[in-house]
Amino acid sequence: MSSEAIETTTVSVPDGSPVLMLAEFDNPTACVRAAEKLRDAGYKHFDAHTPFPIHGMDKAMGLKDSRLGWIVFAMGLTGFSTACFIIWYMNAFDYPLIVGGKPPLSFPSMVPVCFELTVLFSAFGAVFGMLGLNKLPRHHHPLFESDRFRAATDDKFFLSVEYADPKFDPERTKELLSSAHPTHIEIIEDTQS
Amino acid sequence: MSYDPPIAELDEKHLVKPGTTFKDITDTVSRVTETPAPRGWWIAFLTALTFTGVLGASIGFLFYRGVGVWGNNSPVAWAWDITNFVWWVGIGHAGTLISAVLFLFRQKWRTSINRFAEAMTIFAVICALIFPGIHVGRVWHAYYMFPIPNSMGIWPNFKSPLLWDVFAVGTYFTVSTLFWFVGMIPDLATLRDRAKNALRRTVYGFLSLGWRGSNRHWQNYERAYMILAALSTPLVLSVHSVVSFDFATSVEPGWHATIFPPYFVAGAVFSGFAMVQTLLLLSRVVYKQNNLVTMTHIELMNKIMLATGTIVGYAYAMEFFIAWYSGNPYERYVFINRATGPYAWAYWTMISCNVISPQLFWFKKLRTNIPLSFVLSIFINIGMWFERFVIIVTSLHRDFIPSSWGYFHPTMIDISIYLGSLGLFFTLFLLFLRWIPMIAVAELKGVLPQASVHHDDHAHDDDHAQLPATAEGAAE
């Protein structure tokens, strides 16, 4: 199928925004195949936009494993040490409390609070770490200028390629995307260029 | 989450009615929040709101007059307030179990009920948190519960299980809320993208944090979700264990037992599933979502209730066995008194509701019967409330010194605060049904047959995706 056969539209975004080429697919398999083509052609600045996570897309895009686990691990250690520290400071150092004949710092009674704070801090690490890695919240993005893109949270599958990618060439990229049988191609363009 | 065909040999059914498309799911779930609420919703909401008003007034009166407005007395210092606290926290457990534990075990049937169950968790924990807060008596000193500097220069006692409880329930509430919200982000984006007016676009747009379904985001998102599930699993087991320490670490006969943590956790899951079942059956009728919440879900939940109800029955039997086997006369007396004393009516209500009634679920005909499932889910809720009442009140009303024995009678305020907490729970729940996608849209799409990537050349053969299980199942 040649690129002419695929309907192409253009959307303008406010000045200064990066520009994207957006290919639309109506099933996940076609989208994954297209991502593989981009990866194999050496593109780096491209992304898939899908209504749900697609099994195998990470590999198709050539993504490295998420680094989130390390953030959570560090936060978990912080939570555990915080719990140990506050218990020691409050009940053994600043105001030693002798209760039930136990030493001021008795390990068995520290377990529940140490556990809970480890979990609490780790959960904060997981949520805010995820948002940080994803650079969210971000309520403005050139993609939101496209009306068709709204279906990305419904039943359509998109690939976006940034013009900033060193491999990007308006004609050749379009041809590459077209070879993967998208149902539509949209160019999200800076009005000044 | 990905699609697995049902295993024919195990008589598995489709998770979602075959032929359902991605758009069907988006529409079915989103429409509830976009169209005017059905009349049934308004009736339920106004009723619930009235009870919430009763709760507010009763708590106001309690603050004005003091805890003497309750029936709590000298031997029975913990009564309905702590019963309600433990009951509500327990109900919350099923939500986390469904969202976290079943997720880790790849039980994909959870996808159409997890949002629901998580919402229930959060609202149940909100109701639970009210009770220790108002039980402290001098509510203006409630902040002593937290490790913050105060004018006495003294810190909380970290060797007290009551303080562990503050940390456990506080962490549980926070983590459950985060988990719920993270799961909701893609679905809020769906509502944003469907929004027809500026207000909806702004509110859902704000809440969805600018989610654009990016695969680079999904990667971290899925990892975050899995980590939260992995954190919530030990957390949920710890919460009711810590609640049970409130009892088990005391030297009160009937409380001082090592079986308490697992016994409380099983009971919590049991009561929580009953509450999920109650709510699910109700909203299935009101919103007619029979394609997404199928008989398979109802039957599986009934099986879990059968299993946990039987564990709870075993724990009751073990308590009696240990009371005899330990040779401790106080312990033995407490249990004989439980079954035959002045609170025998409560004890036998508990046994009938919790141990006997779920046994009906051994029969497939009965566990696939919707009216019966509904009635039994209510029975289990009642039975589990009585379990906590029995543990707390029968242990306290007659302890070591017969001269200080007593009996507990609830007052009007006890009753109105309990009913009011139900009102608050249902108010929050109905608001959730109205404004938030009640089924995890993105997750449910992921378990449809057409969501899986084909490893052959017929990449855009969409019809093939419509009925995969029969074809693939037969081929294997």
Which segment of B25-39, B125-139, B388-402 scores lowest on mean pLDDT?
Answer: B25-39
According to the model, what pLDDT value does residue B1 have?
58
Q: Is B204 on the interface with A (CB under 8 A)?
A: no
According to the model, what pLDDT value does residue B453 have?
81
> Which residues are CB-contacts of B150 (< 8 A; sequence separation ≥ 6)?
B143, B144
Q: What is the mean pLDDT of residues B376-394?
A: 93
Q: What is the mean pLDDT of residues B274-302?
A: 81
Which segment of A171-185, B177-191, B351-365 scores lowest on mean pLDDT?
Answer: A171-185
- Of the pLDDT bands very low, low, confident and very high (cuts 50, 70, 90), residue B280 is confident
According to the model, what pLDDT value does residue A79 have?
96
Chain B nearest C-alpha distance from A58 (Å)? 7
pLDDT at residue B414 tops 90: yes
According to the model, what pLDDT value does residue A143 have?
85
Chain B nearest C-alpha distance from A55 (Å)? 7
Which segment of B114-128, B178-192, B399-413, B459-473 scores lowest on mean pLDDT?
Answer: B459-473
ipTM: 0.90
The SS3 of residue A21 is: strand
| Residues on chain B touching A47 (C-beta within 8 angstroms) | 214-216
Nearest CA in chain B to A68: B220
* Higher-pLDDT residue of B376, B24: B376
* Higher-pLDDT residue of B239, A165: B239
Q: Which of A97, A133, A154 sits opposite B193 (nearest CB)?
A: A154
According to the model, what pLDDT value does residue A190 have?
66
Query: Could you give the CA distance from residue B265 to residue A21 in angstroms, rounded to a whole number?
Result: 53
Report CB contact under 8 Å: A119, B171.
Answer: yes
According to the model, what pLDDT value does residue B150 have?
80
Residue B468 preceded by cis peptide, ω within 30: no
Chain A nearest C-alpha distance from B455 (Å)? 8
Chain centroid offset of residue B153 CA: 38
Q: Is B226 on the interface with A (CB under 8 A)?
A: no
According to the model, what pLDDT value does residue A16 have?
60
| Residues on chain A touching B234 (C-beta within 8 angstroms) | 115, 119
pLDDT at residue B459 tops 50: no
According to the model, what pLDDT value does residue B2 have?
66
Tracing tokens 């499932």 back to the chain, one arrives at B373
Residue B140, CB half-sphere, CA atoms under 13 Å: how many?
A: 3
Query: Could you give the CA distance from residue B76 to residue B66 in angstroms, rounded to a whole number?
Result: 17
According to the model, what pLDDT value does residue A136 have?
86
- Of the pLDDT bands very low, low, confident and very high (cuts 50, 70, 90), residue B31 is confident
pLDDT at residue B4 tops 80: no
Long-range contacts, B452-455 (Cβ 8 Å, 24+)? B452/A28, B452/A55, B452/B2, B452/B3, B453/A28, B453/A29, B453/A32, B453/A54, B453/A55, B453/A56, B454/A29
Q: Average model confidence (pLDDT) for chain B? A: 87
Q: What is the mean pLDDT of residues B332-361?
A: 93
* Higher-pLDDT residue of B1, B208: B208
Q: Is B52 on the interface with A (CB under 8 A)?
A: no
According to the model, what pLDDT value does residue A192 have?
54
Max distance between CA atoms of chain A, in angstroms, equals 85
Q: How many CB pairs under 8 A join A and B?
A: 224
* Higher-pLDDT residue of A51, B151: A51
Query: Could you give the CA distance from residue B279 to residue B454 in angstroms, rounded to a whole number?
Result: 38
According to the model, what pLDDT value does residue A174 have?
85
Q: Give chain A's residues under pLDDT 50.
A: 1-4, 193
